[in-house]
């Protein structure tokens, strides 16, 4: 029986960062995009790679490799951007994150999910909702709302509300000219 606090069968999007397999609740995932040009925004934290234009909206893109202290992987044809919604203090913040690959959407029964161990974890346990098991593979189910601090998300919100649309347009115009 699960003691993770997750009730009822849920669907999760699985993705890889290096050799680790992570999962996000599909209710928080807006879409999965092919890798596209990311416009760097000066003065942002290292883990914030920049911004992309998603149908006219500015979406900040984060790199969980850097946030989790993992070795950064080379981008490949499998690299994707997962666009998701974070619920921070009852406010929705839309961000993207780089994934080395996106695998599948799975149904996971709560009996297949355990609470994260208190010791021996590479990541802070408050970042993790639970450890799921599918076949013989372990999945780290992220509590994505807690991965970024309020201060870090304040930077993201400042980027969203600032006039980076001009920066994006300049980058897109430059790419079109090439």
**24-78 pLDDT, tens digit each:** 999 999 999 999 999 998 888 888 899 999 988 889 999 999 888 888 889 999 9
pLDDT at 100 over 80: yes
Pick the range with the lowest mean pLDDT from 18-22, 47-51, 125-129. Answer: 125-129
Pick the range with the lowest mean pLDDT from 1-15, 50-64, 102-116, 149-163. Answer: 149-163
Per-domain boundaries in the chain: 10-171
Average pLDDT rounded to a whole number, residues 137-146: 89
Q: What is the pLDDT of residue 2?
A: 46
Distance, CA of 77 to CA of 97 (rounded, Å): 16
pLDDT at 168 over 90: no
H helical segments located in 33-140: 64-68
Which among 41, 137, 153, 32 is positioned nearest to 93, based on CA atoms? 153
Average pLDDT rounded to a whole number, residues 152-161: 62
CA angle 4, 6, 9 (to 5 degrees): 130
pLDDT at 23 over 80: yes
Residue 169: pLDDT band (50, 70, 90) is low
Q: What is the pLDDT of residue 1?
A: 36
Pick the range with the lowest mean pLDDT from 7-21, 33-47, 52-66, 115-129. Answer: 115-129
Is residue 175 classed exposed, middle or buried when 0-12, 13-18 and 19+ CB atoms within 10 A define those classes? exposed
Task: Look at 8 and 73; give whichever has higher pLDDT.
Answer: 73
Q: What is the pLDDT of residue 56?
A: 85
Q: What is the pLDDT of residue 89?
A: 74
Contact assessment for residue 139 and residue 14, using Cβ atoms and an 8 Å cutoff: yes
Task: Look at 107 and 44; give whichever has higher pLDDT.
Answer: 107
Eight-state DSSP code of residue 55: T
- Of 3.30.70.240, 2.40.10.220, 2.40.50.180, 3.40.190.10, the CATH number of 10-171 is 2.40.50.180
Distance, CA of 154 to CA of 144 (rounded, Å): 16
Task: Look at 66 and 159; give whichever has higher pLDDT.
Answer: 66
Which among 59, 53, 49, 47 is positioned nearest to 83, based on CA atoms? 59
């Amino acid at each position: 029986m699960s003691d993770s606090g997750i009730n009822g069968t849920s669907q999760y999007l699985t993705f890889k960062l290096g050799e680790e397999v992570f999962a996000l609740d599909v209710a928080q995932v807006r879409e999965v995009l092919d890798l596209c040009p990311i416009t760097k925004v000066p003065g942002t934290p290292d883990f914030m790679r920049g911004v992309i234009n998603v149908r006219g909206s500015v979406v900040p893109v984060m790199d969980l490799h850097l946030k989790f202290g993992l070795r950064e992987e080379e981008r490949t044809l499998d690299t994707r951007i997962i666009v998701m919604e974070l619920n921070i203090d009852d406010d929705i913040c839309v961000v993207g994150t780089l994934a080395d690959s996106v695998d599948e959407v799975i149904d996971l029964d709560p009996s297949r999910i355990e609470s994260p161990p208190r010791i021996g974890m590479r990541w802070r346990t408050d970042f993790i909702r639970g450890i799921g098991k599918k076949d013989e593979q372990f999945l780290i189910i992220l509590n994505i709302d807690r991965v970024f601090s309020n201060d870090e998300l304040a930077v993201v919100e400042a980027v969203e509300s600032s006039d980076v649309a001009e920066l994006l347009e300049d980058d897109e115009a430059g790419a079109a000219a090439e």
